[in-house]
Amino acid sequence: MTTDHDVIEVREGEDFNREKVKAYLIEHLGLDDAQMEVKQFPLGSSNLTYLIRIGDWEAVLRRPPFGPLPPKAHDMKRESSLLTKLYPEFNLVPKPYVFCEDESIIGAPFYVMERKQGIALNDEFPPNSNVTNKTGSDISEAFIETLVKLHEVDYKKAGLEEFGYPEGFLERQVQGWTKRFLRAKTEEVAAFDEIAQWLEKNMPTSKYVSVIHNDFKLNNMLLTSDFKEVIAVFDWEMATIADPLFDLGITLGYWVQEDDPEFLKQVLPTVTYLPGFHSRRQLIEAYANKTNRDVEDIHYYIVFAYFKLAGILQQIYYRYAKGQTQDERFASFGERAKNLIQYAAEISNKQSY
């Protein structure tokens, strides 16, 4: 189970006024005045998350990254409100406890939520795990089943209609991520214009509408110790109401398989290329069978997934290049973004995934 070995001391430059946070939580959540301990969750490269423990009570604090932020990005109020409404229908989300928009507390809005316990998988299994080929198959099946369950949520019943504008969503995404990449550009990328034009020209018509996570990947969830069930799904900052095939495409863009180019495995470190894990094609077939949805256009969405990921990495690298974060993990993100743009251009006219 997840214990304190999954957290680290707060990184330099990413701490906050602990006394103010403690006082705020005691006032708004009725906690006892006990010693407060703060650790940081090291995974993730966007919003920052911290383990907060006051006496026997513990929770997770989530805040935006430091430095200038893209317009409408990292909206803690929206994210907290979405989780509050989604939780009764899809309780794999962590339950929010309190949202704070008073920036005098830590310098930015933040919210505090339930801490869920489980195993997080990044690029390797925990030591002493009993891993077989069936383990990969079990994880793959639990993974795609969880995505299907999310897409089956009645978003109108949950009161989530205001959280998205499905009409024209895909067009806005293509145009928006094109502009974001260009704003964060640190050098010329030869294939950028080619793939941006391809995405505009070949855009399919969306057929479905659902809640989408928009960043659904293996290291954004917790699993049971036997790896057969998903306990929690995290990082809902980009969730919205839109085309579920868009969500599936983003998911497949993160899913690396054994025969992928080596650079892609390095760009997207994960365990999914190991023996036993489903291929992207198997995940597509499983999704289609479980939902009875037409997935004919999925190739387009996968190409866009690599394009979007390149934009995300480029934005993070821009912050690093400008000295807005000192996290050395981000030093290679510019090269990774460039490789992803080139790869998206290469596979755009190939029906291969």
What's the rounded Cα separation, in Å, for the pair 171 and 204?
A: 10
What is the predicted pLDDT for the residue at 168?
96
Helix (H, G, I), strand (E, B) or coil at 98: strand
Phi and psi of 58, rounded to 5°?
-145, 155
Residue 1 scores a pLDDT above 50: no
Write down the pLDDT at residue 268. Answer: 83
Look-up of token digits 């310098």: 107
Task: Give the whole-angstrom CA distance, residue 15 versus residue 38.
Answer: 9
131: left (phi over 0), alpha (psi -120 to 50) or beta: beta
- What does 165-228 look like in DSSP terms, one character per residue? --TTHHHHHHHHHHHHHHHT--S--TTHHHHHHHHHHTPPPP---EEE-SS--GGGEEE-TTSS
Closest CA to 65 of 33, 103, 23, 108: 108
Tell me the pLDDT tens digit for each residue of 84-117: 999 999 999 999 999 999 999 999 999 999 999 9
Give the mean pLDDT of the chain: 92
pTM greater than the 0.85 cutoff: yes
User: Would you state the pLDDT for residue 163?
Assistant: 95
**pLDDT score at 71:** 55
User: What digits encode the pLDDT tens for the residues 10-58?
Assistant: 988 899 999 999 999 999 999 999 999 999 988 765 789 999 999 999 9
CB 21 within 8 A of CB 61: yes
